Amino acid sequence: MNLEQLSMHPLEQFEIDKVIDAAFKNPLIQRMKFEVTRDLILQSIKKQTIWAHLL
């Protein structure tokens, strides 16, 4: 799912869970020097969705 698709409709909980699960599997996230939490990823998703609405 890309930002354009995110901006077209609100995210369902299962979609949010899928994005968060995928993020935790991403090697870049796994190598982060700080703790990446579910809440941090959720905040990032919300920010990206807000920006997509503004574009």
- What confidence score (pLDDT) does residue 11 get? 65
pTM of the model: 0.48
Max Cα separation, the chain?
34
- What confidence score (pLDDT) does residue 54 get? 55
- What confidence score (pLDDT) does residue 12 get? 76
Q: Are 3 and 52 in contact (CB under 8 A)?
A: yes
- What confidence score (pLDDT) does residue 6 get? 53
Q: At what angle do helices 38-54 and 13-25 cross, to 10 degrees?
A: 120
* Regions of the chain with pLDDT less than 70: 1-11, 49-55
- Summary mean pLDDT of the chain: 73
- With a CB cutoff of 8 Å and minimum separation 6, the contacts of 19 are 1, 11, 41, 45
* Pairwise CA distance, residues 7 & 4, whole Å: 5
